[in-house]
Chain A
Amino acid sequence: MLTAFDKALLNIIQTNLPLDSRPFAVLAERLGTDEQRVLDRLRVLKENGYIRRIGPFFDSVQLGYVGTLVAVEVTTDCIAEVAAVINAYPGVTHNYEREGRFNLWFTLLSPDLEAQREVLNAVGSLPGVVNILSLPATKKFKVSVQFTLE
């Protein structure tokens, strides 16, 4: 169970990890507690799986990567094999089975369009793949994975 302190800490640290020699001391001051308590709770929250990752989150486009969302229609008997091949690419960060005709959806980041095409061609020719659509973003309105804990 999350305590009121945990929730306050998680709400702050989701968007504000200070760029400071002693970042947890800065957070502790904002939360009215001491540095060691912040560190101890963060370790517990990380170990218990509440926190997936701490650190900088980079904008892939700003770093020169090209991204796309890929929808794949796969026959159900082949889905595990196809998913495993897709997962093996380091540029695949999310891969979800979803309801509907296109039943596998993954995100792909590549250093350039040629590398992206190679992956799309390889996945498109796997046994069981009926159809594959590449849906690159044309405009980004929001990326903000943030949850307010009350």
Chain B
Amino acid sequence: MLDELDKKIISAMQDEFPLVLEPYREIADKIGISEQELLDRLERYKKSGQIRKMGAVLRHREVGYSANALCAWLVPESRSEEVGRLMASKSEITHCYTRLEQPGWRYNFYTMIHGHNRQECQDFAAKLAQEAGLADYIMLFSTKEWKKTSMKYFREIE
């Protein structure tokens, strides 16, 4: 269970990470705790899986991956584990989920595919469809980004 201090820390960590020699000390000062307590708690969140990674996310367009497609697949339920493992192993795929089926929309399996251009994404999906033995899929290329941001957790407590 998260206590109030956990929520305060998680909320504070959503702010810009200070690019200074001792960034954790600066954040800890703002929260009003010691640097060691902050590091200990972050270490604990990492071990428990609440932090899935400590690192950086790049703007994929700026680093050359300018095309992305949400690819929705129809995968028989009995095959979803096997197909999930195969797709998760591909570096071109950044997100892979099964999702609830809804009337009027037959797809149940979703992957985010990144490539240097549209053709590369299409070729990759076609090859993957063949490898996985899946015939029914749809590629939903983005035509406009209306919003892309990181979640600000526990902001309501401030």
**A142 contacts B146, C-beta separation under 8 Å:** no
Residues of A within 8 A of B110 (CB): 69, 135
**B22 contacts A16, C-beta separation under 8 Å:** no
**A83 contacts B146, C-beta separation under 8 Å:** yes
A3 close to chain B: CB less than 8 A: no
**A102 contacts B146, C-beta separation under 8 Å:** no
**B2 contacts A63, C-beta separation under 8 Å:** yes
Choose from A25, A55, A83, A139 the contact partner of B54 (Cβ within 8 Å).
A55
- Count, chain B residues at interface, CB 8 A: 73
- Count, chain A residues at interface, CB 8 A: 77
Report the Cα distance A142→B150, complex, angstroms: 18
Report the Cα distance A98→B85, complex, angstroms: 27
A77 close to chain B: CB less than 8 A: no
Residues of B within 8 A of A133 (CB): 102, 104-105
Residues of B within 8 A of A52 (CB): 56-59, 150
A46 close to chain B: CB less than 8 A: yes
Choose from A35, A56, A62, A143 the contact partner of B42 (Cβ within 8 Å).
A56
**B143 contacts A99, C-beta separation under 8 Å:** yes
A14-B55 contact in complex given A98-B143, A136-B99, A140-B97, C-beta closer than 8 Å: yes
Residues of A within 8 A of B152 (CB): 90
Residues of B within 8 A of A15 (CB): 53, 55
**A49 contacts B142, C-beta separation under 8 Å:** no
Residues of A within 8 A of B63 (CB): 2, 10, 50, 147, 149
Report the Cα distance A77→B1, complex, angstroms: 46
**A43 contacts B105, C-beta separation under 8 Å:** no
Report the Cα distance A83→B78, complex, angstroms: 37
Minimum distance in angstroms from A15 CB to a CB of chain B: 5
Closest to A103 in B: B143
A51 close to chain B: CB less than 8 A: yes
B31 close to chain A: CB less than 8 A: no
Minimum distance in angstroms from A40 CB to a CB of chain B: 9
Choose from B54, B84, B88, B143 the contact partner of A16 (Cβ within 8 Å).
B54
Query: Can you offer 13 A-B residue contacts whose CB atoms are under 8 A?
Result: A16-B54, A17-B54, A19-B39, A22-B22, A46-B19, A49-B62, A50-B58, A57-B57, A62-B52, A63-B50, A94-B149, A142-B88, A146-B91
Residues of A near any B CB (own CB < 8 A): 2, 10, 13-25, 35, 39, 42-43, 46, 48-60, 62-65, 69, 71, 83, 86-87, 90-100, 102, 104-106, 109, 111, 131, 133-149
